[in-house]
Every structure is written in C-alpha cells, then in structure tokens.
Structure 1
Amino acid sequence: MGLPLMLALPPEQFRAVLAHELGHLSGNHSRFNGWIYRQRETWYRIVKGLRQSGHEISLLIFQLFLIWYIPFFNAYSFVLARMNEYEADRCAVDLTKEQNTAKALINFEVKSRFIERYFWDSIYKQLETEIEPPEMIYTAMQQAFAQRLNEEIISTCLMEALTEKTNNTDTHPCLRDRLKALGYIPNFPKELAIFAPIEISAAQEFLGDELEKIIEHFSQVWREKISTPWRQKYAEIQKLIVTLKDLNCKSQKQQLTLKEASQQAFLTFKFEGEEAVIPLLQEIIHRDPHHALANYLLGQIFLNKQDATGIEYIERAIAQDSSIVGEGCQIICYFLREQGRNNEAKSYQERAESYGKLILKSQQERSTLKNDDKFEPHNISDIEVKKLCQQLSNYSHLITAYLVKKNLQYFPEKPLYVLAVKREFSFLEGSHSYEADNSKLVNSLLQENELPSNVFIFILNSHLSMEKKLKRIPNSMIYQKKGKK
C-alpha cells in the first residue's frame, strides 16, 4: 500500500483498503485462511529474495522443491485463498461500513487502469522530446488525482472493471463478484460520482506536513532509477522518428513494400495518433485485405470512435492470427456492452472464455513431454542447424543433441520444437546435484544460445526410451560429441 494508492483515495476509502489488508492477517474469521494467505506470500518472498541475492544454486534447488510442492499447495489452498479475499472484504465492512468498502474496491480498480494506461503513458510520451525524465513525478500524480478525471476514460475503465469475470488463475474474485458478496448493487451512472476530484486525499490526511518531503523523496528516487534507461529509450525513439521521416519521404516518391508500409503505419500511430494512421491502414488493407495487424489496429480505432464497422476488421484479423482471439473478442465485448447490445456481447465474452480454456490446454501440452507424444522432422534450415551445433559444441559435457518438432493438438500452426540433449554425468552425483545441474544446463542453453522460438529443452539421461523414439525421426540427431557414439 504505497504512495500512489494514498494519493488516489480519500481517507475513508483508504481506511477500507487498510482494513481489508489487516483482515488477511486477522484471526477473527478464519485462522487457517489467514495462515494460507501468509504462506503464499512467504513462498513468493523467498523466491524473490533468492533471485535478488544471486544464490543461483540455492534458487535452483529450491525451485525443484517448489515444482513438486506448489501444485499441491495451490490445489488445496486456491479456494481457501479466494474465500480469504471475501473474508477480508467483510472485515473492511465491519470497520469502515459497506459504502466505503464498495467505493474503495471500485475506485481502486478504475484508478489502477487510469494510472497504467493514461498517466504513465503521458509521462513516457515525453521520451519523444525530453532527454531527461521529469523531476517531480509524484507531484504530477497528485495533481492528476486532484482534478476531475476525463469522464470518457473513467467510463471505459469502469465498464471494463464491471464486465470482467472471475477466472481460475487469480485468487482475487472479479469486482462484480466482490460487490455482490457485500450486497452492493453497482449502478453505472451513479458510480461515476465516486471519481469526483479528491478534496483531501488519504496522503494529505495521514501524512500531513510530511507529505511534501515524502513526494520529493520518492520523485527523486524514481528519477535516479529511471535516468539511464530513459536516456537509452530516448535514443531509440529518436532513431524511430528518423525512420518514420525516411519512410514518409520514400512514400512520396514510390510505393512502399507492405513491410515498409506496416512499419510506417505503426510508427505513425505511435507518434501521431489514431486519425493520422487511418488512411495508411486503409491503404494497406486495400493492397492486402487479410493483413492481420492493419485490420486489428483499424478495428480498434473504429470501435474507439463508436463505429461498429470496427467489428468486421477485428474479425478479419482474428481469422488470420489466432493469438488475438481473446483480446479481440474482449474489445468487441466492451464495445457492444457500451452500445447496450448485451446478448451479442455475451456471445463474444463466451468466445473469449472458450479461447482462454484452449490457451490453458495449449500451455499444458507445450510444458511437458510424455511417452505417447509424437514427433516429426524439425524442417529448420541447414544454416541455422549448423549454427546451433557450433553453439552446442561449447558445452564440453554434452554428448548428443536431437532436434524435432512436436505434434500438437492445440494451435499446431505455432510449432513447438524439442531440443533433447544427453550429457555426461558421474554416478557419484547425488540426486539433488544431478537435478540442479540439469536445471542449470537448461537455463544456460536458453539464455546463451540462439534457439528456435518456442523450444522445449529436455534432458535425455534418465529417459532412454525417449532417445530411441527420437532416433527414428529423420535428421533428428543434429550434434554428437567427437569420439562418442
């Protein structure tokens, strides 16, 4: 619960959020639920601490434990952890009343979106012209919350927050479910009043005369931390601006290739906005009606302008690129809800949810290898394979490497390559050392080499039957250490 939250909420709503967090630690409702909450936080802090400490071996060994433990812990604790959120909300109600708790939940959801999408966007927009980051960032944030926020922006963020559904990847229930559990029925027009300018923020109320010093301190810390990456990003953006100027000049003399035209459109959208890019996107679509990026971006722009023809463009993009099904359907869903076309919106919501389930199944399919998996030749060019072999030869303890492509049930158009390697090892190695060395080798291969995109690395030493299976795939063996057979 940091300074941005205190600047965003009035005192009575901040008290409700504070009461919610204290409710997690309280034994008033369920000591076991509180224990679950603390255990989940403890594991995440331990892993984060090990990563930051640089103790790679400790982290690898600990991760092996987590790989075994976390699925069991999550399975038993997930429902309880979600219940704990409802319990903590009820603690907030007991201490600060229903209205304050409900308003705090709504305010938090909406202003989180506002901060991420609009406030920080406006700050990073300055990268186009300023070589140094702004000095008093938290003063700017305080001023943003103190004035009336753009009603159109707030309406969009509120609609999104209220239409989201609880999913199975987050222990936090969606906003509507949390409000329902409190017995609070949201009324869209009425809720907009929550976002009136804050006369006195929680930061002003509770930090008093120290607020100015705290804002100055955090602004300075942020500026020192961001200065180097800011200058680097500034240099990159200046190059992109020059690229856009060159493409604009070239387009005056001759027709750009589709790749160049796409880059011109993307950069125009980035630096000049929606209106400027519309004719460029329309020209790309005229040349290639099925251009996924152009259709998707133009569809978004039209829906932002409340033009329903944007649906057609997004549908056309989805037909070409399945990876945007979920996001595309959600964008259309939000538009239709704003138009009051709730039945149509529901169908897109269901479509997005169905796609989400397919994504989960796809991730499961791509995260493991099983004995009944089927493989086929990798079809990667000889040049790329030769380059990979040269990189593998730098690992003195590697004996053999196979490269194949896994047959997939879900999204087979996005290939998954399998790089299976056998390494030298001593029978004197303990099981912990053996597994730790395997993990270290996998991480090294992923980080230090130019591998095909979407690759799964597999250690063959304990899976000789898998090696026999891979040997039967044509051209699967791409590397063998000299003197080894």
Structure 2
Amino acid sequence: MDQQTYTSLVHSLEVDATIHPGRFRGKVILLGSMAYLVLFGLLAALALLFWFAFEAARAADRAGSLIRLGLFALFMAPVFVVVLRMFFMRLPVPEGRVLLRADAPKLFGLIDKMRKQLKGPPIHHVLLDDEFNAAIFQRPRLGLFGGHTNYLILGLPYMLSMSPQEMAATVAHEYGHVCGNHGKVSAWIYRQRQTFTALYQQIGDGAGDNLVYGLLAGLLGKFMPYYSAHTFVLSRQNEYDADLTATELVGAKPNAAGLIRGELLGRWIDEEFWPTLLRQADTRDKPAFLPFSAMGTAFKAGYGQWATSETLARAWGEKSDLYDTHPALRERVEATGERCKLPACIDVSAAEALLGGRTRMLVDEFDQRWWQREKKEWRARFQYASRAQARLLELRRAPLDALKLQELQELAVLSAEFEQPDKVVLAHLLAQPGGPFPRAEYEYGCLLLAGRDDKGLGHLANAGAADARLRDKAARVGFSYLAKYGDERQAQQWCDRVVAG
C-alpha cells in the first residue's frame, strides 16, 4: 500500500470513527481477534504438518525419509518458534528513578484520589525520568495471556514547568488511558500492535531465506498497513477520550493551559534551552550551570521567548499528521471547549507542590547523573573547540586567495560551526575547481534561501547528491522553504527527488 492510499484510508476511517465510535472500536477488536485466530491456526497447521510428516517418515521406515524430515524440521522450526514467541512477548521495563509513597505523599495522594474517582487499576510503579513528557505504560507479565504491571512515568522537566493543576490534568489524562473499557481495549490494541510489528519485522528479515518466510511476509505485508490504519485511528480517538477524562476530573481551563504550555515550552527546550547549555562546551570545560537546577529559573526568565503570540500562532496552525497518534494542539484544546490563549507564568511548579521537600534532592540527583553521563563527551568537545577556534583565527589572518583549497574548506566549515556561515568564503570556495564541496553547498544553499533566493535549492540538491549524510537535512530545509513560499505538493516533489539522490 503506497502512502497516498494509506493516507486516504486513514481519513476515511477517521470519519467512520467519528460518526460511529462504538461500532468502529468493535471493528478494530474484531480485526485484531481474527488476526490472532490466524496466528493460532498457523501454529496448529505447522504442528499438524510436522506430525503428519513424522508419521509418514516413520511408516516408510527409510533413512532418506527421516533425513528429509529432519531437514524439513530445521526449515520450519524457526517459523514455529517466532510465531510462538509472539504470544509470550515481554516488553522491556521502562527506565526511571523509582518514587516511593514516602518520597512524594502528595503525588501519591493525587493518584489515589483519581483511582477512586475513576475506579481504575492500581499504579504499581511511579517513575521519574529526564524527559519533558509524561506517560503511562502497561507491561504484560504473561504476554497475550494477561497480567499487567502499570507504570506512571513523569518527566522531571515537565513537573518543573507545569502548575499543580496542569500536572493533575496530565496525570488524569495518562491514567484515563488504562481506566474503564476504553483503557482495557487501548492496552490490548497497543500490545497487539507491538506483537504484529515485531512478527512482521522478524519474518520480513528472513523473507529471502526460504519460501515459507517469503509467503508469510507477503501475507503480513498486505495485512499490516490495513491493521495499522485502524489501530492508528483508534489510538487517536483514545487521546480525545483521555483528554475528556482530564477535563472532567480537573477542569477544562487547566487541561487546555497545560496542553498549550507543554507544546510551546517543549519546543523552546529543544530549540533554545539545551542548545544554549551545550554551546558552553565550546568555551568551558564544565558547564556554568547544570540543566535541572537551572530549568525552573530558565522557564520563568525565558517566558517572553516561548510564550509569545508568534509561537502560539505557529503551534496553533499546525495540523494533525500520520506520524503521531496525538491530535494537533488546536484540535485538542478546542475539544475541551477552551480557546487559543497563552498560559500564565507560574509561581509554584508541580514539582514543588507534589514532590515537596524532595524536589531539591531529586534535581541535584538528576544533575549529577546527567554530568556523569555527559562529562567525557563534553570535555572532548571543549578540547576540540579550543583547537578549532585557534585554527580559525589563524586562517582568518590570511587573504582568501592565499589559502590552499583544503584550507578554504577548513575555513568554511569552522566559520559555520563557531561563528556563522560566511557567504563570501563559501562563494569563493564553490568557485574553485576540485569539488564537490557538499558541506559548503549546504551552508551556502541555506544562506541563499534565508534571503529568499531560489538558487539555494540547487545548492541543497547538490549537497544531498554529493553526501548522503546531508541528504535528509537538505531535504528538510528545502521542503520548509517551498512549503512556506510555494505549495506543499511542489515541496514534497522536490523533497522526494533530493532524498532519492
């Protein structure tokens, strides 16, 4: 199934799920159940086939027949084992710092209250990790045959950014995923999706090795896109259901404010906070501030950067896509009944309110863990940057015409890395014989597009053609430019050509 057909299928299923949500949910359950029946049938067929072959070989009482049976068993055993293992597949235990009730009594009190309101299953483990996110994870203990351990995973950066009410809405959203019939079906569908994806990958890897694997890969290849489209639509529908749970338990205003804050601040952390911190490695052998200690202050001080009408308009204008089961921000907020509005700067964070006196200790713990993990790479970068910037100063002292080709390339790359791309240097280098110069082509193309010069597209295409490592970056830059100043269809066609090489 090609991308256009898959997209059309998803859109038609979304209409069906909106008009007849109960019927659509039943359809997905039936589709998954039938798939499991097929797998059980396959296991039974393989077992019967082997048994009949064994009986035939024993009746013939010939050494050649037994040898052929052994070869057949050797041929078929991996298929049987792969399918059998799918029924007992165990997902990895999620990583994170375990929080006990004594560590955060207010947080656990909030969870207890929600469990009582929703009559939901217990949360067996609460984990704190370093992501700007929150999630709930059901880990099957016996694969297909039941038994689940529930993990609530909360990101420390997320807790440092949200108000207590916004954090409560997030916890309610995540807990809503495992409550009631919706939660059970969601968890079952999630595990199924994992099972069939793993099975498809395993069999697809061996499709060229033997006829049976090839046949199974062909059958799953037809089934998986159809199944993925149905489960994708149901997963997105479940996000709306979980948002509704958060609105009912905590309120529409804090739920909507948390959604908007999470979207805007999450982008700012990726685009500004972490790059600013990591750039210190170019001038310092140790950061002036450690990340988690600085986050609370940075979120407040940077409010004027991430909470603007421009950043909100950009986020609000984005549409849902097929790469994320979460609907777009606008659709989620409007579903709560609220409007587009910038969240207020908070005085007390959810971490301070729900983790209490443990917050400082946990922040220090995460900082030290981060530094121990990053220290080696940080110091290696500092040493490299010190040498590279000294070399850049040396190259800057010489006239361009006096530099050899290799030195010109070095100057172009180092100036782009430690200062900003130098248009004069790049143009001079690209005019020299002895190319291609893919990195220079890429930087020059970006500069031209920044000035609304379409010639930059040609340089990006040249960069991608000369160096496969730059292909995706060049394609993204060109796509964004064409989508902004042209049309998306033209942008996609250009992007496809660059990616194809």
Unaligned stretches of 5+ residues in structure 2 = 1-153, 207-212, 465-470
Equivalent position of 1:468 in the other structure: none
Deviations 1:90-132 (A, max 9, x none): 1111122222222211211111111111111111111112223
Which among 202, 212, 222 is matched to residue 350 of structure 2?
A: 202
Task: Determine if the alignment matches structure 1 residue 330 to structure 2 residue 490.
Answer: no
Q: Write the deviation string for residues 383-404 of structure 1: whole angstroms up to 9, x where unpaired.
A: xxxxxxxxxxxxxxxxxxxxxx
Could you report, residue by residue, the CA deviation over 1:355-375 in whole angstroms, capped at 9, with x for unpaired residues?
67x4xxxxxxxxxxxxxxxxx
Residue by residue over 1:116-156, the C-alpha shift from the partner in whole angstroms, topping out at 9 and shown as x without a partner, is 11111111111112223456321111210132434378555
Deviation at 1:262, TM superposition (A): 4.9
Q: Which runs of 5+ in 1 are unaligned?
A: 48-58, 303-308, 337-343, 359-409, 415-485
Mapped to 2, the partners of 1:260 and 1:83 lie a distance apart of 57
1:179 aligns with 2:333: yes
**CA distance 1:241–1:321, change in 2 (3 Å):** closer
Map of 2:264 onto structure 1: 110
Work out which of the residue numbers 336, 352, 368 in structure 2 matches 1:220.
368
Are the equivalent residues in 2 in contact too, given 1:134–1:223 (CA < 8 A)? Answer: no
C-alpha distance 411-145 of structure 1, shift in aligned 2 (>3 A): closer
Distance 2:459 2:310 in 1: 23
The one of 403, 414, 418 aligned to 1:271: 418
* 2: CA distance, partners of 1:296 / 1:38: 45
Deviations, residues 212-238 of structure 1 (Å, cap 9, x unaligned)? 111111111111111122222222323
- Counterpart for residue 247 of structure 1: 395
1:179/1:119 Cα in 2 relative to 1: closer, same or farther (>3 Å)?
A: same
- Distance (whole Å) between structure 2 residues aligned to residue 197 and residue 63 of structure 1: 51
Question: 1:163 Cα deviation (Å)?
Answer: 3.2
Structure number with higher helix proportion: 2
Q: Paired residue for 1:9? A: 162
Identity fraction in percent: 28
Q: Per-residue CA shift, 1:304-330, capped at 9, x if unaligned?
A: xxxxx3353544445545743443332
Q: 1:98 to 1:152 in 2, by over 3 A?
A: closer
Q: Return the alpha-carbon distance in structure 2 between the equivalents of residues 160 and 42 of structure 1.
A: 37
Match of 1:92 in 2: 246
Amino acid corresponding to residue 310 of structure 1 in structure 2: R
Aligned CA distance change for structure 1 residues 103 and 153 (closer, same or farther; 3 Å): closer
Residue 240 and residue 162 in structure 1: after superposition, are their counterparts in 2 closer, same or farther (change >3 A)? farther
Offset of residue 23 of structure 1: 1.5
In the alignment, structure 1 residue 79 sits paired with structure 2 residue 233 = yes
Q: 1:273 to 1:84 in 2, by over 3 A?
A: same
The alignment yields a C-alpha RMSD, in angstroms, of 4.0
2:445 is matched with 296
Equivalents in 1 of 2:385, 2:237: separation in Å? 46
Q: TM-score, normalised by structure 1?
A: 0.56
What secondary structure, in the 3-state scheme, does the structure 1 residue paired with 2:323 have? coil
Provide the aligned length of Structure 1 versus Structure 2: 323
- Give the distance between the partners of 1:105 and 1:224, measured in 2 at CA: 33
SS of the residue aligned with 1:171?
A: coil
Counterpart of 1:389? none
Q: What is the rounded CA distance, in whole Å, between the counterparts of 1:21 and 1:281 in structure 2?
A: 50
Check the 8 A contact 1:244/1:267 in 2, yes or no.
yes
Match of 1:236 among 380, 384, 398: 384
CA contact (8 A) 2:170 2:258 kept: yes
Equivalent residue number for residue 35 of structure 2: none
